[in-house]
Amino acid sequence: MENAGKVRLRYAPSPTGPQHIGGIRTALFNYLFVKKHGGTFVFRSEDTDQTRFVPGAEEYIVDSLQWAGITIDEGIHVGGPYGPYRQSERKDMYRQYAEQLVKDGHAYYAFDTPAELEEMRERMSSQGNPSPAYDHITRQYMKNSLSLSQDETEKRLASGDAYVIRLKMPRNEELKFEDLIRGWVVFNTSQLDDKVLFKSDGMPTYHLANVVDDHLMHITHVVRGEEWLPSAPTHIMLYRSLGWEDTMPRFAHLPLVLKPEGNGKLSKRDGDRLGFPIYTLNWENPLTGEKISGLAERGFLPEAYMNFLALLGWHPGGDKEVMTPEELVESFSLDRVGKSGARFDPEKAKWINQQHIKMKTGAELAELLAPTLEAAGVSAEPAFVAAACELMKDRAVFIPDLYEQGKFLFGDDLEYDEKTVAKKWKKENAGLFENLRERLFLLEQFSESELERTVHDFMEDKGLKAGEVMPVLRLALAGGLQGPPVSAMMALLGKESCDNRLKKGFQLFNTLI
Ligand code: GLU
């Protein structure tokens, strides 16, 4: 990589609401590329559209990145040499570039009122034009510094008439660039409109601010969603017109994140529809009261989240799909990012989380499970919780499952699955099971191997099959047939709790059938 060690990428969301996994995926691809090449990850807030600003959205996005392990090197909350990193705080520096463009003949003042713009659109539609635009043709009939005399323009500017500055898109020129994912992309300027660069409220539009900032912040690569591809020619035209073509960043447009069914872009409502969070963290919109739920609170692991997001559009070289953040950084490259949309698959997400849960130690899981246990009012020795997590981890999809599916480990008060008891318990064997309980009680070492041996010997002595004994033990120890291996479960519970459960269970089973 020719720029090795010097790459600077930015994630530049607009704080118009919380970002779902599609947005965080964009941040992640920027981050992985930066880490791979030893560069800098910049976070910039593109908040120029004051009408769409949602309080708290910026913090929400920063918190989401932080939770996911995507560290910001430079940006809001962190600082850096090219700040400020919030566009509203950079407001005053954009006008000069827009004015410069006008002076050099690449942009112009436009005085049209909203009513006049509407009238133009209506007129063009009625003439059969399906997508009316302010462009190299219509600009000739509108009120702007290209169609009006210089005197008239100056008079309007001096009188304080509202105006915008528009980019003068040339006629019939070929604009092309090499996208790092899509290869050569070609546009003809005649198909492009004269985008507003500077608004009447004194704020730049996204296009101007984005290009000016990427230039001033020395951004080397722009990695963003495919929805921005149509904006790329405007940006390229701006780089050219501002004389910055030599240092123009490379572009990479990521494939869209699609609904699981593949029909359209994943959208904020899909989380509810699927019963599976598509956001990182829980949040309540302070303006609308609307609530969204996060994968973090649901019990997703940050490293699984990163792994799963990386696979939304990127294909690792080999068969290995379950990867740690370090492995992702190591093997990431933009040329393994596909062009076609990436389907969001909740089942795959669950599977990946499960694999990462399995990779953790019992003690690590116990720490992650602490909030769940606290909420359930369960208190247990840390060593016990760790051992329980170790036993349960092969079955958990989300962290709280370690408790939800292993509740019976945390208290002797069990709920019995009576139907199964009726099927498995034979009254005539009651005496035999009592004998087994005594044998177990006499064990000096209540270890998994001793327990296993004792149960095995008992079965042999009494001529009983595993199918007649194990389910009954499970029912007495856990209330149902679920759970980890019986002897492991007994060793974890310890002699006293086991003996109580067996005693209580066998007595109860006699009354149930
Ligand atoms: N502010 C744009 C957004 O909300 C940034 C697009 C870009 O990366 O250029 O995603």
Instruction: Indicate which atom in ligand 1 lies nearest the CA of residue 46.
Output: 1
Residues annotated as part of the active site: 268
User: Is the residue at 212 inside a domain?
Assistant: no
State residue 67's pLDDT score.
Answer: 98
What does the alpha-carbon distance between residue 295 and residue 400 come to, in Å, rounded to a whole number? 12
Provide the domain count of the chain: 4
pLDDT in tens, 226-276: 999 999 999 999 999 999 999 999 999 999 999 999 999 999 889 888 999
Residue 431: how many other CB atoms lie within 10 Å: 9
| Exposure on the CB side of residue 274, measured as CA atoms within 13 A | 19
User: Which runs of consecutive H residues, i.e. helices, occur in 84-205?
Assistant: 95-103, 114-126, 150-158
* Among candidate residues 484, 502, 485, the one with its CA nearest the CA of residue 436: 502
The reply to whether 110 and 49 lie within a common domain is no
Annotate 126-164 with b (16+ C-beta within 10 A) or e (fewer).
eeeeeebbbbbebbeebbbbbebeeeebeebeeeeeebb
Which CATH number fits the domain that encloses residue 460?
1.10.10.350
Which CATH number fits the domain that encloses residue 388?
1.10.8
State residue 157's pLDDT score.
Answer: 96
> Do 309 and 29 meet the contact criterion of CB atoms below 8 Å apart?
no
For β-strands 74-75 and 107-110, DSSP reports them as unpaired
Ranges under pLDDT 70 in the chain: 1-5
User: Is the residue at 454 inside a domain?
Assistant: yes
Q: How far is the CA of 82 from the centre of ligand 1 (A)?
A: 18
User: Is the residue at 213 inside a domain?
Assistant: no
User: Is the residue at 247 inside a domain?
Assistant: no
Q: Is 160 left (phi over 0), alpha (psi -120 to 50) or beta?
A: left
What does the alpha-carbon distance between residue 383 and residue 16 come to, in Å, rounded to a whole number? 45
The reply to whether 391 and 474 lie within a common domain is no
Which CATH number fits the domain that encloses residue 299?
3.40.50.620
State residue 3's pLDDT score.
Answer: 42
Mutational pocket test of ligand 1: of 210, 212, 213, 231, the residue with most ligand atoms within 8 Å of the beta carbon: 210
pLDDT in tens, 202-225: 999 999 999 999 999 999 999 999
Q: The whole model's pTM is what?
A: 0.92
State residue 404's pLDDT score.
Answer: 95
Q: Is the CB of 15 under 6 A from ligand 1?
A: no
The reply to whether 21 and 109 lie within a common domain is no
Instruction: Record the tokens describing residue 167, joined without a space.
Output: 């980019």
User: Is the residue at 232 inside a domain?
Assistant: no
What one-character DSSP code corresponds to residue 78?
T
Instruction: Indicate which atom in ligand 1 lies nearest the CA of residue 223.
Output: 8
The reply to whether 436 and 389 lie within a common domain is no
Q: Is the CB of 228 under 6 A from ligand 1?
A: yes
Instruction: Record the tokens describing residue 326, joined without a space.
Output: 């370090």
What does the alpha-carbon distance between residue 217 and residue 411 come to, in Å, rounded to a whole number? 58
Q: Is the CB of 45 under 6 A from ligand 1?
A: no
* Cα separations in angstroms, 120 against 131, 134, 308, 354, 409: 12, 9, 48, 57, 73
State residue 228's pLDDT score.
Answer: 97
Q: Is the CB of 210 under 6 A from ligand 1?
A: yes
Domain assignment of residue 448, given as a range = 412-512
State residue 51's pLDDT score.
Answer: 86
State residue 66's pLDDT score.
Answer: 98
User: Is the residue at 83 inside a domain?
Assistant: no
Q: Is the CB of 17 under 6 A from ligand 1?
A: no
**At 305, which amino acid appears?**
Y
The reply to whether 97 and 137 lie within a common domain is yes
User: Is the residue at 246 inside a domain?
Assistant: no
